[in-house]
Structure formats: C-alpha cells, structure tokens
Amino acid sequence: MTAARQVGPKPLVARWGQAHARCMTELLPSVVSNERASGLPERFRMSAGRRASGRVLDIGAGHTDDLPAYAHICHLALVGAGEVRDAELPLQAEEVDAAPEDLPFPDRAFDVVVCRFALTRAKHPSLAAREIARVLRRTGQLLFLDTAPATRLDVDALMHLRHGGLITHDVEWSWPRAEPPLVRGVATYPNPQYVREAAWLRGAE
C-alpha cells in the first residue's frame, strides 16, 4: 500500500484512469441524455450530498459538477478525480493518485465512500470492493452508482460488494434507451446481530 499525499493535478494510474476517462467522456453523457425522465445520476448526486458527513472518500468524480454539495464533512479525499482541480472545490481536498484496488488509506478511515463507475471498470473489481470495504468504518456507508452489464438482478457490482463483506440497501435500477443499464444504492456492513443470527442458523442446519 502506498502512502497518501497531498497532490495537485496528476495523471491517475494508467489503466484504471484511462478506462474511467472513457466512461466519463463517452458513456456518461449518453446515459445522462437518456436518463432525463428518471434522472438517476442526479438523484445519486443529491443523495450523496444528503448522506455524506464526517470523513468522505469520493471515487470517480470526472468533473466538478459530479461532486455533491458536500456541506457536513470535515475531510474530503478524491481518487480518480478527472478534471476536478483543488482550486475549483468548495473546501480543501486531498487529491490522491491511486487505483481503487490499492487505496493508500488506513483501515476504517472514512465515514462515507462515494463511488461512481469504479467497481465494474476496475481491473480487479472484487479487489476494489474489498479495498473500499477496508477503508470504510463499520458504521459507515458506501454510496455507489455503476453500470449493470446484464438485466438480471444479481449484477456484477452487487456481487463484488457482497464479496467485499458489504450488504446493499435502497438499490434502484434504470434501463435507459442507451446501454448499459444503471444501478445505484447504498452498501454497509451487516448488523452484528444479523451476523450472529445467521451464524446460529447455519449451525442449526
């Protein structure tokens, strides 16, 4: 794991950065243009603005407009920040040159992680999900917006999150005219009581 540092505009890790840049410049505009009726990306941004508090990690903000109106946070770290620049931010932020599979932060460092299109476009999506879970506090929330490569409910992004030890809530789907479909939602660690009861049930079988 590399050390976190305060940096200015730097190129991101090549493979993930290029893939994410293509997503933001090619996929997202077409998705947004076909999403005006339901506005799922905008609802994601507004939800992130309401839910984010404390220490926040934002992954994949391609432009300043992608950033929610962060009003209740004490620290903001940006990974995969695209064209976002420190001078354009409403508060001082730490911009980190890293890939989602190798986040240079200590365990349980963030109260909220906001993640756009990173899980299905990472070179190793399950590893990225585990890294996100690692830096998320046990009582924290992951707010995610991603693509769904199939029209089945058990899509890749949700599977990767489960493999990372998280469970999903408030999942919302959209099938715009332009492919691919979109999915957004919230992921958290399971309630300890649920874990104990599930373990008891498995032992009773």
- pLDDT one digit per residue (tens) for the chain, 205 residues: 544 444 444 443 444 444 444 444 444 433 333 434 358 888 899 999 899 999 999 999 877 778 887 878 889 999 988 777 655 666 668 889 899 999 999 999 999 999 999 887 888 888 999 999 999 999 999 999 998 765 554 567 788 888 888 999 888 888 777 667 888 999 999 987 766 766 677 775 5
b/e code 97-110 from CB counts within 10 Å (16+ = b): bbbbbebbbeeebb
Q: Provide the 3-class DSSP secondary structure of residue 78.
A: strand
d(CA 101, CA 113): 14
Q: Provide the 3-class DSSP secondary structure of residue 197.
A: helix
Identity of the residue numbered 59: I
d(CA 13, CA 89): 22
d(CA 34, CA 30): 6
Domains detected in the chain: 14-204 (3.40.50.150)
Closest-CA residue to 117 (of 108, 127, 125, 106): 125
pTM of the model: 0.74
